[in-house]
Amino acid sequence: MELLYTDSRIVVCIKPAGVLSTDEPGGMPELLRRMLGEGKDGCVRVVHRLDRPVGGVMVYARSRMADSLLSGQVQRRELEKEYLAVVEGRLPEKAGLLEDWLQRDRRTRTTAAVSRPGPEARPAALRYETLAEETGRSLVRIRLLTGRTHQIRAQFSSRGYPLCGDRKYGAKTGGDIALWSYRIAFTHPQTGERMAFSALPPDGAPWNDFSEQLHRL
């Protein structure tokens, strides 16, 4: 795990794929407390989440005040989150806005796009841009406008473009889910400075097939 920035209020890091982002045994807060040399009761608070199979850039709060202020930015959509993904197929439009009503099935732990609003359906929106196409797959850059569970996975899958490796949402390809938290931007909870951090996905399939495009970012 790599630390990108830390001070008395926040820590910005790269979450490895396969690690819980929440404060549970073996989760990121526990690992960060160890890396920062704090005891088991050290203050590392969850501000936003990533699905367990997904890696990339995250920010955690190191004080109650920082947690409150950063969480407020999340609620007001002032904490910007951008992702990289490789999807199966070629999207009909090179860039666009995806809007859906998403409904969570707690039994199957999946999210589905539904045709109309309801008591369990919530609005979801994202913008995407296709960066490259290669052998029936597309590298896309995504900016989340809302933060629903499995939102990116469900929105692309519902249109017939599941993320590579995402068998839960209909992918035909195996391997790890090709989704990466590429960039976050937020206002520092103490200094008021606007900060941004980014990191490219690790080496490996299917990212290596788009190395040239990724290193232009």
Q: Which of 7, 23, 51, 166 is catalytic?
A: 51
Q: Which of 186, 212, 202 is nearest to 131 (CA)?
A: 212
Amino acid at 28: M
Given a contact cutoff of 8 angstroms between Cβ atoms, the answer to whether 131 and 213 are in contact is yes
64-93: buried (b, 16+ CB within 10 Å) or exposed (e) per residue?
eebbebbbebbeeeebebbbbbbbbeebee
Catalytic residue check, 176: no
Task: Count other C-beta atoms under 10 Å from residue 183's C-beta.
Answer: 19
Residue 33, C-beta contacts closer than 8 angstroms, at least 6 positions apart: 39, 40, 42, 44
Instruction: Report the DSSP beta bridge partners of residue 185.
Output: 80, 196
Going from the C-alpha of 186 to that of each of 51, 114, 145, 206, 207, the distances in angstroms are: 20, 31, 14, 29, 27
Q: Quickly list H helices, the chain.
A: 28-35, 64-75, 151-158, 211-214
Give the active site residues: 51
